[in-house]
Structure 1
Amino acid sequence: MAFNTGLSGLRAASVDLDVTGNNIANASTVGFKGSKVQFGDLYASGFLSGGTNPIGDGVRVQDVKQSFGQGNISFTDNGLDMAISGDGFFILNNNGEIRYSRAGQFGIDKDGFVTNNQNMRVQGFTADDDGNLSGIRGDLQIETDNLAPRRTTNLRSDLNLDSRQSVLEARVNRLAEVPVGGAGGIIDNGGDSFVILYADGRPSQQVNIPGEVTRPDGSTRPITAREIAGQLNDIAGISASATTSFRFEGDGGGIARLDALLGDSDFTFSVAIDGQNIPIATSGVTTKEDLVKAINSSSASSLSASLVDAVDVNGDPVLDVNGDQIQDIRIIDNRGSDVTVNYGLAGATGPDEPIDYDKVGDLNVSADRSIQDIVTTDPDDPTVTSLFADGYDAGELSITNAFNPLDQRTYNHATSTTIFDSLGNSHELTQFFVKNPAPGNGVGVSEWSVYLQIDGELVAGTDTSPYTARFNEDGALQSINGDPNGEIVVTDWIPKDPNGEPNGADGPPLPGEEVVTPIPEPPTTSAFVVDLGNTTQYGANFGVNDQRQNGYSTGRLSGLDVSDQGVIFARYTNGQSKSLGQVALASFNNTNGLSPVGETTWVETFESGQPIIGAPDTGTLGSIKASSVEESNVDLSAELVNLIIAQRNYQANAKTIETSDAVTQTIINLR
């Protein structure tokens, strides 16, 4: 009896030594789970045996249980190494046999499949070409091909336009009495330079005017207001006219005699046109330049009575402009009329001296006291001048400077971003914003013009008309060209190369082809949407709160990342990332029912039950830690203590056998 008891103890202690030794041997094995021997006592039983205190018959090994407790997580330099924090097993395909493991040391084989060190393929949920997870389980495969380019179909710009900005235009003087040598404040004569001004005083266009004109015979004469107006008319966006019909020009004796009289206390001066005298203020006139300035500053409204020889644009006589009809009026050049200059001392009259003059400009007459149009004319045509109906105002004019993307003074705000065509070529799209005068009475609504340029060309081709953005009284966008969503649909873009030639990428839709928004995938044209729906107009500095577009160029695979949910993302050299798949995890109702088959893997058994498969970090499944592995959960110190105990147990059971043998020998020696 004692022999059996001792032998059973030796067997049990031997198993304990084996299990403890195996734990110690795998103390550094990634994903290893330690085991512990569970013992049970034995009692002899038989038909004749009985009693209340039966004698034990030794010990037996009931089970070797695995401990699936969490091991420590350590970091690695491999982006595909994974550790499970929590419940679950990786699913491995071993040539058709499904195994389960906690060891997450993974890499990529020659075919791009994610495998462990034994070339078992990791299983998960695959993704389509756009990176959308399908929910279908299979072997995870990494695509190493270049990422195909994607054209831009949507550009979202969340901006703030500064409501404190000024409208880039000038409100100019009323033209009821226009100085002979000026233009009602529209033009500032600074010597030989004429400047059109903004409301804030900055120049929008500047033209240098020469002081003299050379005649065919080589002599020179001062430049006339007509010629000045003609040069200003050549500037895009500016209409200019001059109202003077005469100018001093030296002719020798006349000017010389005039100079001799300047500064005399009894000096007087007057101009007569067609017999009508125009008073000239001579107080303070001491030089020829002072005299010219005095003439040019005299009121032209007094000339209206003499300008009666008028015809309309069709050449028909016009005698009355006092009705409601607005007429464009020209004055026929009448050099034969009596134009004289009278000057002299008090009580004496000097000789009449003629003054050369030229007809200039063209300005329409308004019978309802407001200017409706400014008519310009060929500056080389000397038969046109300006005219106001007697007793009528010309109203208030405004000059809005022409938009010029190369001149930052012609727009309030601008922002640029990169977009892409179907070949992955990058292009620069710039949005310009110009504040407009408020529509209507200006209450509760503001208006801006929006210009779009791609690579320096307007997206509207030859159409220079801007888009119109309106804002409510609270600063929120009301509409763009009437669209309450704030969307601009660009339908005429032809992608070009640096030489300005079409580069072969998809072009605009065919004439009559409808563009549906949002642009469906895959797109077939270069049409795209600029979404300004979240743009505001607050009293704050211009700002780009968010700006994003959905296009990109081609890219090469540069790395892999794994999220906590087990999603494998590919990183590309163009800055894009794409989902390639998601690692799947499996859990079991009875984890200890799994059968270890080596290589730190298990297979399911009847006792374990069927696997419950899902995505990491869902349900009871744990999360994934990338670039990490789970270390063995073996406590080496505890195992060394267990080893000593197992050794002691083995020796003690051997002593039981030795003692039993000695007793038996004693019995044999009895004679």
Structure 2
Amino acid sequence: MGFNTGLSGLRAAAVDLDVTGNNIANASTVGFKGSRVQFGDLYASGFLSGGSNTVGDGVNVQDIKQSFSQGNISFTDSGLDMAIEGDGFFILNNGGETRYSRAGQFTIDKDGFVVNNQSMRVQGYTADGDGNLSGIRGDLEVATDNLAPRRTTNLRSDLNLDSRQSVLESRVRDVGPLAFGSVSGEQFSVTYSDGTPAYPVDLSGLTTARQAADKLTAAPGLSASATTTAQVPLTDADIAAAGGAFTFDLSVNGAPLQLDTSNVSTLDDLRAAINRSSDTAISAAIVDDGSGNDVLRVTHNQGENLDITYTGGSVSETGDINVTGDRTIANVNPVGASGTNFVTEYGQSPIRITNEFSAQDQRTYNHATSTSIFDSLGNSHELTQFFVKEPSPGNGVGVSEWSVYLQIDGEMAAGTDTTPFTARFDQNGTLQSIDGNPNGEILISDWVPKDKNGQPNGADGPPAPGAAVVTPIPEPPTSSAFVLNLGETTQYGAAFGVDDQRQNGYTTGRLSGLDVSGEGTLFARYTNGQSKALGQVALAAFNNTNGLSPVGDTSWVETFESGQAIIGQPGTGTLGGIKASSVEESNVDLSAELVNLIIAQRNYQANAKTIETSDAVTQTIINLR
């Protein structure tokens, strides 16, 4: 009868209206997936063949299918909101029950777990204390405690040292005093490391130390001075014993010096008489002869010969020579067998730096740069690197050298107060080595962290005496030792510049914000400028997504038809990526649903008309007489 056919149509149309209404109601629900009704016709059938009634018995609702097509992604102002761009579901822990959802509106509960609006905990891959992600899946948790400090164990400085800089230090050799008689008549040559032609020096035929000093000063890079000192073994008793007959005659290079000794009765009177002389190059003083006796010392500060005759004795001196040689001199070589004394004295004389490096004097270094490092308590300290250009070794072709000094909080470090590190560069400006280390590493193992008053602050100090320190510093570190890596430092003809400078230490920090990457990794930002991975969101996919069973709260559960979940990291396999600070809107097309609503209404009215017509026909039959 048409009653059953119309009734099935009414039921089907009512279901269609319900599904369409549900879609419309959830048009603004985040992560919602719209549904559609699938109908099937009804025909009577027998056991082995079709029934004889081929007219049909109406309509049947076969299934209600959800559409898992991608919804629009809209941005939000919440850092923990996430949208899946592509395939996959968020995995939620609902008190032990596992649910799956596309709604990524997440927040943090009172216990620090990442949850959705229904307090279901978001599942993901956890991270260790250093931010290293693991393959262990669990509830994502945001630790709100302070980030513990980390001491500096490695500092990398990528610099360019200006090859056009000049050598600042002045290094000299002090030779002398040399007795005039020991070098008189010698011949030798002075050679230079800066390309200056060799200079011959001939001290033959000279009669005074002053003449020898003038010859030496004429050589480039040499500066000489001469003095003549005569010690006269006179005492007050000697002068008193001579009475008024005391005599004292002084000649400079054979020329008598006019002295008034008529009123001399003591050694001090004689000293004053000599100092009153018209020859200002002459001076006299009373000194101890080493035995407790005061004697007279006469000096000629230009190196002329002194001849002294006095009552009871005489003294004759030819003078001494003092020589200073600058750093451009490569060597002093004798000519033949001559010049041995001067050559030997020059070669054995130590080098003296006249303007030695000083961190307080900018004139003594070419470049400097500072950066912060941290001790085991998270206290900040300032490390300053100073670079001083040195003369090129050898002939100066194809190699350059710089001295490296280190200072921490105003105190020299790594022994550079006495011996700086030497950085050597090749002809291309590339670092060859630092103190022979081709890696360009400098180990600082003598640092004692101190407070602002210069006292140890309680942080870890240097390694114990005799303890071996290896690089890189192994974890966990147990001392204040750290490595300065200058391996990428260059020496080009360009201005000094710091290309990159980074170190791995930091002070303690408080949580200041959260970020989410495109791979679903949660990063915590701290007030000390650090960030650390807290975990990574896990996504699940299914072989038959339509087999999932909706359980409300915009979530689904796994069923036999869906198959087991395939879980992985976002962006791997068929899983989609993550859009941070975004949500996926409902995929309901509101315009289409309104049209479907009209269609369902017409269908319902039409089926009702079928019942009405069947009723009229039946009434007609009943009214037959």
TM-score normalised according to structure 2 size: 0.75
**Using the alignment, how far apart are the partners of 1:508 and 1:464 within structure 2?**
19
Please give the secondary structure, in 2, of the residue aligned with 1:478: strand
1:437 aligned residue: 391
| Equivalent pair of 1:168/1:400 in contact (CA under 8 Å) | no
The SS at the match of 1:15 is helix
Q: Secondary structure, in 3 states, of the residue corresponding to 1:643? A: helix
Which residue does 1:517 correspond to in 2? 471
Q: 2:408 aligned to 439, 454, 477, which one?
A: 454
Q: Distance in 2 between matches of 1:66 and 1:107?
A: 27
Percent identical residues: 76
Say whether 1:34 aligns with 2:13: no
Task: Judging by fraction of residues, say which structure has more strand.
Answer: 2
Q: Which residue of 2 aligns with 1:118?
A: 118
- Are residues 1:561 and 2:512 paired? no
Q: 1:45 Cα shift?
A: 2.6
Letter in 2 for 1:481: D
Q: Which residue in 2 is equivalent to 1:495?
A: 449
**Could you give the per-residue CA deviations for residues 579-622 of structure 1, whole angstroms, max 9, x where no partner exists?**
00000000001000000000001000000000000000111101
For the residue of structure 2 that corresponds to 1:560, the secondary structure is strand
Which stretch shifts more, 468-477 or 595-604?
468-477
RMSD: 3.7
One-letter code of the match for 2:475?
E
1:155 maps to 155
Offset, 1:562 = 0.5
CA contact (8 A) 1:240 1:361 kept: no
Other-structure match for 1:661: 615
CA distance in 2, matches of 1:369, 1:63: 100
The answer to whether the aligner puts 1:620 opposite 2:578 as a matched pair is no
User: Contact conserved, 2:227 with 2:299, CA < 8 A, in 1?
Assistant: no
Matched, 1:578 2:578: no
For 2:431 and 2:354, the matched residues in 1 are separated by 24
Q: 1:412 to 1:648 in 2, by over 3 A?
A: same
Deviation of 1:475 after TM superposition, in Å, equals 1.2
Structure 1 range deviating more: 459-468 or 420-429: 459-468
- Structure 1 residues 360, 553: CA separation in 2 closer, same or farther (over 3 Å shift)? farther
Gaps of 5+ in 2: 179-193, 195-221, 230-249, 258-278, 282-289, 291-295, 308-318, 334-339
Counterpart amino acid of residue 363 in structure 2: R
Specify the code of the residue in structure 2 equivalent to 1:86: G
Shift of 1:408: 1.0
Q: What are the ranges of 5 or more consecutive residues in structure 1 without an aligned counterpart?
A: 179-198, 200-238, 247-270, 279-293, 297-313, 315-331, 341-358, 373-387
Task: Using the TM superposition, give the Cα deviation of residue 440 of structure 1 relative to its aligned residue in structure 2, in angstroms.
Answer: 1.4
Task: Give me the whole-angstrom Cα distance separating, in 2, the residues matched to 1:391 and 1:632.
Answer: 96
Q: CA deviation at 1:275?
A: 1.1
Aligned-pair CA distance for 1:460: 3.3
Q: 1:75: how far off?
A: 1.3
Deviation, 1:46, is 4.2
Matched residue type, 1:131: G
Match of 2:213 in 1: none
Taking the TM superposition and a 5 Å limit, the aligned residue runs for 1:259-658 are 273-275=252-254, 333-334=297-298, 362-363=322-323, 401-460=355-414, 463-658=417-612
- The equivalences for 1:171-182 within 5 A come to none
Contact 2:169 2:356 in 1 (8 A): no
**SS of equivalent residue, structure 1 residue 56:** coil
For residue 27 of structure 2, what is the amino acid of its counterpart?
A
Mapped to 2, the partners of 1:121 and 1:472 lie a distance apart of: 60
Q: Distance in 2 between matches of 1:133 and 1:335?
A: 84
Give 1:213's aligned residue. none
The answer to whether the aligner puts 1:21 opposite 2:15 as a matched pair is no
For 2:18 and 2:330, the matched residues in 1 are separated by: 113
Amino acid at match of 1:123: Q
Q: Deviations over 1:600-649 (max 9, x none)?
A: 01000000000000000111101111111111111111101100000000
Specify the SS of the correspondent of 2:226.
Answer: coil
Shift in alpha-carbon separation, 1:97–1:650, aligned structure 2, 3 A: same
Instruction: Tell me if structure 1 keeps the 8 A contact 2:405–2:416.
Output: no
What residue in structure 1 maps to residue 105 of structure 2?
A: 105
SS for the counterpart of 1:243 is strand
Write out the 4+ residue segments of structure 1 that deviate beyond 3 Å after TM superposition.
46-53, 169-176, 239-246, 332-340, 359-365, 368-372, 388-400, 460-463
* Aligned-residue offset at 1:548: 0.3
The range that moved more, 71-80 or 639-648, is: 71-80
2:226 pairs, out of 214, 221, 243, with 243
Amino acid at match of 2:359: P
Matching residue's letter, 2:254: G
Tell me the amino acid that sits aligned with residue 68 of structure 1. Answer: F
For residue 274 of structure 1, report the CA deviation from its aligned partner. 3.8
Letter in 2 for 1:505: A
Which position in structure 2 is the counterpart of 1:191?
none
**Contact 1:150–1:422 at 8 Å: present in 2 too?**
yes
Relative distance call for 1:652 and 1:467 in structure 2 (3 A) is same
- Whole-Å Cα distance in 1 between the matches of residues 139 and 330 of structure 2? 84
- Residue of structure 2 in register with 1:287 after alignment: none
What is the distance in 2 between the residues matched to 1:391 and 1:3?
133
Deviation digits for residues 361-393 of structure 1 (CA, Å, limit 9, x no counterpart): 85599xx99679xxxxxxxxxxxxxxx989999
Residue range with higher mean Cα deviation, 148-157 or 473-482: 473-482
Q: Distance in 2 between matches of 1:93 and 1:74?
A: 25
Name the CA shift for 1:114/1:335 in 2 (closer, same or farther; >3 Å): closer
CA shift digits 1:399-446 (9 cap, x unpaired): 652101111111011111000000000000000000001111112211
What residue is the counterpart of 2:72 in the other structure? 72
Alpha-carbon distance between aligned partners in 2 of 1:578 and 1:3, rounded to the nearest angstrom: 70
Query: Aligned pair in 2 of structure 1 residues 174, 497: CA closer, same or farther (>3 Å)?
Result: closer
1:56: Cα distance to partner?
1.7
Gap change, CA 1:655 and 1:439, over 3 Å in 2: same
Residue 169 of structure 1: how far off its partner (Å): 3.6
For 1:646, what is the secondary structure of its paired residue?
A: helix
Greater mean alpha carbon deviation, residues 473-482 or residues 38-47? 38-47
Distance in 2 separating the partners of 1:446 and 1:518: 27
**Aligned-pair distance for 1:473?**
1.6
Q: Give the match's secondary structure for 1:5.
A: helix
**Contact 2:171–2:354 (CA under 8 A) maintained in structure 1:** no
User: Given the superposition, is the C-alpha separation of residues 639 and 370 from structure 1 closer, same or farther in structure 2, using an over 3 Å criterion?
Assistant: closer
Question: Matches of 2:622 and 2:426 in 1, distance apart?
Answer: 117
* 1:511 positional shift: 0.6
Counterparts of 1:390 and 1:15, CA distance in 2: 118
Change (3 A) 1:53 1:603: same
Aligned: 1:129 with 2:125: no
Deviation at 1:242, TM superposition (A): 5.1
Which deviates more, 66-75 or 463-472?
A: 463-472
